[in-house]
Structures are given as structure tokens and as C-alpha cells.
Amino acid sequence: MFNYIIKRILSLIPVLFIVSIAIFLLIHITPGDPASIILGIDASQEQIDELRQQLGLDLPVYEQYIRWILGVFQGDFGTSYFSNEPVTTSIIEHLKPTISLAILAQIITIIIAIPLGIAAANRRGTVADQSIMGVSLLGMSIPSFLLGLFLILFFGVKLGWLPVAGYQPLEAGFFTHLKYLIMPAISLGAIQAALVARMTRTSMLEVLNTNYIKTAQAKGVKNRSIVYKHALRNAFLPILTVIGQTFGILIAGAVVTETIFNIPGIGQLIINSVERRDYAVIQGVVLFVTLSYVFINLVIDLLYGLIDPRVRLDND
Amino acid sequence: MPKQPLLEINELKTHFHTERGRVTAVDGVTFHVNEGEILGVVGESGCGKSVTSQSILRLFDEKRLAQYDGEIKLKGTNLLELSDEKMQSIRGNDIAMIFQDPLSSLNPVFTIGHQIAESILLHQNVSKKEAYEKAVEMLRLTGIPAPEKRVKEYPHELSGGMRQRVMIAIALSCEPQLLIADEPTTALDVTIQAQILDLIVEINKKLNMGVIFITHDLGVVAEICTRVVVMYLGQIVEEANVVDVFENPLHPYTRGLMKSVPQIDGDRSEKLHVIEGTVPALDNIPKGCRFATRCPFADELCVEKVPELREFKNGQKARCWHAEKIAEEDQEREDQYV
């Protein structure tokens, strides 16, 4: 197990290396110059050149890359051109709301989707099944920003129960924190829930048709126990995969939702830094997102082993 | 008055609701199993053997999929009238079942000890520890070496033969009165087959347990069964003692099955006998005799009218208009040889 984790972490190095080159090149071939954006349109060419020199932007691209990547190896992702904050600091700062949001959205997803998926599988072909699948199709089809706007309109504006937008950190109190996050979490979670519910249904249906479920029935196992003990655990692997993927998406891609609800998360950080051509921040964030994707996948793979003894890895 | 049979099935019908309408997979099956007896159920794929056996335990979903008619009496109690809860207490306890494919019949995420103990815990009032001890004992009974070690293993760590032994251990863990074995050796290689058969016979003797042995392997039937039921397209076409079935089959289908078995001393240049055609689909059942489409003896009467299951000597039964004629012909041919 331990060896396996080490192996997985080592195999990260080439991935991150390739990703880092790709981001770096991509950013540097897109038009737009940070120096002229920082100084504004009135700046003279000399001023711009001077700033470019300060920022190291006058160096050849490969040299800039080497400087940056050496810094990364020492845990230094560079400094934002605008705020002069270390990139690591601003990632951590913006990560807090995003993580809170992702976790809440994921909890909502799981609480809604898995029981519904199981219920649909148990009642396949009935009205209940068809309505659950119908609603989930609707959930998948509604863009999260639209759902977000509807929620704001209804709960924020019409009923006034929840704040229309904004963010309060956990330090402001758990319920205040929750109050600001609940609507964005729902609008993010709805699509994921629809996906997970469908996956759960399909996976459960497949497992419920297997021979070992018949064996369990023939042993006299009660229906509840067949569904929740014998079937669910077997059906859980594909569900877990989808949950892992959606969590990755929630961390990286809540851009639109964060913008609508004005949450200072990773999404906002990306947008702002792209607008300002804040190279160091963009590179840092993308690298960080890659890292978190790979990390989530590692966790999922380890969970597989926990659920299914056939993928247990302690023998190698 | 003979004593009451262990299991008595009367006019059992199993209907399935499918997209193409209602089909009747088992159509009026009547047979019985005595205590300590091994009854063979024989037939091609798709003739309703497995459906019959799973109907006995009511394993098909009655809410949506299936509907049963008739009677299935276990020592006088009609199983078809029992509530779900009562039925659950009979499954695995009074009647146990082993399936065809041991590779997929065990739950991959639980240890085999867990799976045997689960059955014991469901039906007997014992502690977890006792149930696991019993599980080890059951594994030992089925001839698995080092059972103390094996109980902690998962199905994928065992071979096919071992897994079938585990299935048998699960089935026998509550000492059922009736064991239904649905082609338990089909997926195993020959030496393992023989071992599993021996095991089933041994336990049948030891526990005086009734066994319904479903197979398409006539060799196995000859070896272990006392009586045989031959099924074709959801119906019984012949029922007899094992000796009569082999020496004096009355139904053309049974004869066809017998002839399809290769003989070790037979002429190898001769082609093996085949029953022409395939079993018709359930939504396309012939009007008269169900076997008429494939029967070398079939005439107009067979195509038009449905034959009943008639009784002949020694209690042998056959569903054929021409059973007497066929028997006579056989007799003549034998006389010629003499």
C-alpha cells in the first residue's frame, strides 16, 4: 500500500512537468503584455521596457520557464504582478471558499443522488423510476448559472430568505457561512446530482441482475439488506469514479457560479488573473488545479481498494 | 398410502411479463421429490428447468416480472401462499440452492466466511462467533483444505471448484431438507465435476436430504439420480425411474437426448445424432404437441392435438401420442438382434 502511494506520487512528476510546459507556452503565446496593462495606456515605451525587465519578461521564454520551474521546486510559485502577494498565499486565500463550496455541493449531490438512484433502480420501469429519471434529465440540462439565477430570484429577491450574493468566511460563524453558500452549492450540485443519480441507477441495475444477488436471495437475505449491503457496495465503484470527477470539476470549474454569487474563490482568481495577464498567478493556479485532480484520483483509487478486495494492492 | 413426499409440485405455471406480452415459461409442471431422493431434471437450454427450480424458491420478482400459478407444497405447506417474510425464512433454511456458475455466484466484496455465516445468522439463533465457527466446519465438510485460513479469503482467491464447494457449504449450512442444484457442475472441469458430484451424493446420504438435480448431462443423471423428469418447452414430457429412462425411453425427445450422447465404443465415422432444429421461442409455441416441429414420428394428430402426460407401466409417464408404437418398435429392433 505504502509503496503504491509512493509510486503514484512519483508518477506525478512527469505529468506535472508536461502540464507546466503546456501552461507556460500557452500563456506566453497569447497576446497581451502584463507590463503595459499594469502601467495603463498612458505609459511610455521606456517605462514599459523597464517594468518588463523588472518582471523578467524580457528574457527568452525558455529562460523564464527555467527560472519559474526552479522556484516551483522550492515551493515558490512566484509573486503576483499586481498585488505583489506570493502566488501561494493568494491561492490559499481563494481556496477556502472554493473548498467550502465544493464540499457542500458534493454533500448535497450525494444526499440527493444516491438514494434517488437506488430507488429508481429498485422500481425500474415504474412511474417513480421514470419521474426520477425525468427530473434528473432536467437537472442535467439546466446550466448551473441559470439555476443559480432562478434561486437568487426566488429565495434571495422574492422571499428574501437568503443573501443574494457574497461570501462570509467560516470565522463569521458556521450558519452565516452556510447561509451564503447554500444557493451556489445547490446550483452547482444539481447537475452533479443528476449525473450521479443516473450512474447509481445504471450501476445498481447491473448489480441487481448478477448471480450473487440471486445467491443472496436464495439464502433468505431480506430485500433491504440485499439492496443496501450486497448490491450497493458492488455498485459503488463507478459511482465513486463519477463523484471523484465531479469533485475535481467543482474545485476547478466553479468559475461561473462563483462569479454569479460573487464568491472570492479559485474561479474568480483565475478570471481576474487572466484579465490582467498575471502570468505567475495563472500558472500557479493551473498547476495547483492539476495537482488537486491527480490527488483526488489517487484518493479515489485508494478508496476502490477499500470497497473491493479485488483491487486491493497490498500484495505488490 | 405412501408417505407424504417432501416436495410436491402441482400444475406449476410461471408466467413472465415481458415487452412482447405475457409468456409462460413453465406450463403446468407436476412432480414430487421424496426425502433422501435425488431427482434429475433434464432438458436442453431454454426448456424451463432453471425457471422451475427458481420458481420453487420464488426467486423471480412477483411485483413486476413474474406470476406463479398452481401449488408448490413443502411437507404440505403451499409455498405460493406464504408471505414474503415466511418465504425468506424458508429460503436457505428449508430449501437451499446452488447455481450453475460458481465464479459469479459469490459476492466478490465479502469474505467467504462472511457469506457462509450470513446464512447461518439469518436462520439460526447463534452468536457471530459461533456462526463463523460453523462456517469453518462447513468448509471442512465440503473438503476444502485449511478451512481456518480459507474463511478469511475472498471469492477471487479461490478456484472454480473451491467456489462451488463454498456454494455447497452455504447451501448446507442450515441443513436444508431440500437442495436444488441447478447445473452445479457445468462450469467445472471433469475431475472437479466428479468430486462435486460425490460430495452432493455423500451429503444427500448423510443428511437424508432430498435433491433436485438439474442438468443436461445424461451421464451425471445415470450416475446419481433415482428418478428423472425430462422437460421440453416448459412442460414435462417424460417421467420415469432412471433405469427406464435409459433402457426404455417412451418420448421421442428423450430418445433423441439419449442418442445424442457419444458412445465410447461407437462407430467414430458415424455422425453423432442431433435433434434437428432448436427449441421454439416461448411466444411461438406449436399448437399441438410442442415437440412436433422437431419430432421424427410426428404426424397430423401431433400437429393438431395436444397430448396429455399418460402413465405406462412402472409408473413411467410420457407426453406422446405414439409412445406405445415407439416402445413396440424398440422392442422389435431388440428382438431382431436377439
**Chain B nearest CA to A114, separation (Å):** 20
- Kindly indicate the confidence band of residue B211, based on its pLDDT and cuts at 50, 70 and 90: very high
Mean pLDDT across the stretch B128-155?
Answer: 91
SS3 B240: strand
Closest Cβ–Cβ partner in A126, A211, A230 for B105? A211
pLDDT digits (tens, 9 = 90+) for B47-67: 888 899 999 999 998 888 899
Nearest to B54, CA basis, from A208, A206, A215, A122: A215
* Percent with pLDDT over 70 in chain A: 98
Ramachandran assignment for B92, one of left (phi > 0), alpha (psi -120 to 50 degrees), beta (any other): left
Check if the beta carbon of residue A250 is closer than 8 Å to that of residue A101.
yes
Interface touch B109/A308, C-beta < 8 Å = yes
Distance of CA B159 to the CA centre of its chain: 24
| Whether the predicted interface score ipTM is above 0.90 | no
Nearest to A36, CA basis, from A81, A78, A85, A77: A81
Q: How many residues does chain A have?
A: 316
Residue B46 cell numbers, joined: 431454454
pLDDT digits (tens, 9 = 90+) for B98-124: 988 888 999 999 999 999 999 999 999
- Give the separation between CA A214 and CA A315, rounded to whole angstroms: 31
In a mutagenesis test of the B interface, which of A123, A209, A219 is the best target, namely the one with the most B β-carbons within 10 Å? A219
Which range scores top for mean pLDDT: A213-217, A253-257, A278-282, B63-67?
A: A213-217
- Kindly indicate the confidence band of residue A316, based on its pLDDT and cuts at 50, 70 and 90: very low
Mean pLDDT across the stretch A237-266?
Answer: 85
Burial of A35 (0-12, 13-18, 19+ CB in 10 A): buried
CATH superfamily of B7-225: P-loop containing nucleotide triphosphate hydrolases (3.40.50.300)
- Give the separation between CA A242 and CA A236, rounded to whole angstroms: 10
Closest Cβ–Cβ partner in A211, A218, A234 for B57? A218
Residue A45 pLDDT greater than 60, yes or no: yes
Residue B106 CB neighbours (<10 A): 24
Question: How many CB pairs below 8 A link A and B?
Answer: 72
> Domain count of chain A?
1
Residue A108's CATH number = 1.10.3720.10
- Give the separation between CA B135 and CA B129, rounded to whole angstroms: 10
Closest Cβ–Cβ partner in A215, A220, A230 for B99? A215
- Give the separation between CA B104 and CA B169, rounded to whole angstroms: 16
Check if the beta carbon of residue A234 is closer than 8 Å to that of residue B109.
yes
pLDDT digits (tens, 9 = 90+) for A3-19: 777 887 888 788 888 88
Nearest Cα residue in chain B from A309 = B109
- A236 is a domain residue: yes
- What is the predicted pLDDT for the residue at A253? 63
Interface touch A220/B122, C-beta < 8 Å = yes
Q: How many residues does chain B have?
A: 338
Domain positions in chain B: 7-225, 250-337
Q: Which residues of A touch B105 (CB under 8 A)?
A: 211-212, 214-215
- Give the separation between CA B296 and CA A196, rounded to whole angstroms: 57
Sign of torsion, CA B205 B207 B208 B211? negative
- What is the predicted pLDDT for the residue at A310? 82
Q: Which residues of B touch A210 (CB under 8 A)?
A: 104
In a mutagenesis test of the A interface, which of B59, B107, B173 is the best target, namely the one with the most A β-carbons within 10 Å? B107
- What is the predicted pLDDT for the residue at A314? 55
- What is the predicted pLDDT for the residue at B337? 63
Range of the domain at A189: 93-276+296-311
